[in-house]
Amino acid sequence: MRFSVTNVTVLLTFSDTPPQRLLQDTDFMADDPSSLSALLRCWLPDEAAVQDHAEAGAGQRLSPTLSQVTRWMRDAQHKLTVHRAALQDGHAMLLATSLDAEALGTGYALIGDWDMARSYWLRACHYGVQLLRQASQQAHPVVPCDGLRLVVCALAAGDMSLARQVIGLQQEQAGQVRLNRLAQAILQALLLWLDGQGSQGCHLLRQVIGSSRADRQYLFCYRGLLAMCWALLGIFSADAAMFNAGVMGQLAVHHHWALGRTGDSEEAFICLSALAMINLGQLQGLEQDVFDLLIPQGLVLART
């Protein structure tokens, strides 16, 4: 069965193929909701509010105009040029340059130039890797770098080796640059899985989900990361239903966020983290059952 997300309530009613619970290491999650959709109901407990959002967002598609994309790409290219010039002068502009390259890659993705999109996302990663290396040489890094953002860019571009390099560098400075605990758990679980310790990676993700469950405000703020954890659990355990439910959760959260944005930027129109999870799932042979404009199919890797 194939699904497409058009508003956040799609996932709230998604129950055709509920994710399967893993059998081992689940004692501490005995009281947890049995599916991601149940967790989302915890985030949005007010049914009237959910219905209001459904009526406001039903049928809306996130698709920018050509003039918007052209303006975003022109602005991103200008900023990238300025920041790269500053790099040549020895100024610490690596983070800004990385963000500019990511934005430009997203712009190319929106006009269907897949090769250029991947190229700029990889550039964003390489600038970020330089920043991580600089940070690892300092006792107190001045400019922290979000390793998870770089991993998402690498996976969206289909480069697993670069993603692993970023994770390794981020873990080296884990005590210096503090990440959100869900983000840190995702990176640690990915590293365990890449090292052939997938069961330990699953245990870590379930543990952080269980420990975060009691704090509704925290879960609401970071519900996109929780959905990513769910998708990774499906990938690590080869559970296609759990994997697709997690991706659908990412899309639903992204769509909800994008519809409520007052700003005007390219990042609202592509869910880069969902694309990253889809590509990772494809590399593991899991079937993609969730399709949406937020995930350009031209950037999805062939299933192995």
Residues 74 and 165 in one domain: yes
Residues 216 and 287 in one domain: yes
Residues 55 and 42 in one domain: yes
Residues 49 and 94 in one domain: no
Instruction: Tell me if 44 is assigned to some domain.
Output: yes
Instruction: Tell me if 150 is assigned to some domain.
Output: yes
Instruction: Tell me if 88 is assigned to some domain.
Output: yes
Instruction: Tell me if 131 is assigned to some domain.
Output: yes
Residues 68 and 173 in one domain: yes
Residues 166 and 71 in one domain: yes
Residues 137 and 208 in one domain: no
CA 140, CA 174: separation in Å to the nearest integer?
A: 12
Residues 139 and 109 in one domain: yes
pLDDT in tens, the chain (304 residues): 444 443 333 333 333 333 333 333 333 333 333 455 544 444 443 434 434 444 444 445 567 777 778 888 888 888 888 888 877 665 568 888 898 999 999 999 988 999 999 999 999 999 989 888 877 676 555 555 688 999 999 999 999 999 999 998 888 776 555 667 888 899 999 999 999 998 999 999 998 888 777 677 777 678 889 899 999 999 999 999 999 999 999 998 888 887 776 556 778 889 999 999 999 999 999 999 999 888 999 999 988 7
Instruction: Tell me if 87 is assigned to some domain.
Output: yes
Q: What is the pLDDT of residues 31-83, one digit of tens each?
A: 333 455 544 444 443 434 434 444 444 445 567 777 778 888 888 888 888 88
Reference 267, options 302, 246, 297, 294; nearest CA is 294
Instruction: Tell me if 128 is assigned to some domain.
Output: yes
Which residue in the block uniquely carries the two structure tokens 């543990």?
207
Parent domain of 7: 1-60+203-297
Instruction: Tell me if 284 is assigned to some domain.
Output: yes
What one-letter code names the amino acid at 55? E
Instruction: Tell me if 304 is assigned to some domain.
Output: no
Residues 14 and 118 in one domain: no
Q: What is the pLDDT of residues 220-246, one digit of tens each?
A: 678 889 899 999 999 999 999 999 999
Residue at which a domain ends, from 179, 212, 238: 179
Cβ burial 237-268 (10 Å sphere, 16+ → b, else e): bebbbbbbbbbbbbbbbbbbebeeeeeeebbb
Residues 11 and 56 in one domain: yes
What one-letter code names the amino acid at 134? Q
What local confidence, expressed as pLDDT, does residue 262 receive? 55
Cβ burial 89-127 (10 Å sphere, 16+ → b, else e): eeeebbbbbbbbbbbbbbbbbbeeebeebbbbbbbbbbb
Residues 81 and 132 in one domain: yes
Work out how many domains the chain is built from and give that number.
2
Residue at which a domain ends, from 179, 195, 211: 179
Residue at which a domain ends, from 134, 163, 179: 179
| Average pLDDT taken over every residue of the chain | 76
Residues 168 and 147 in one domain: yes
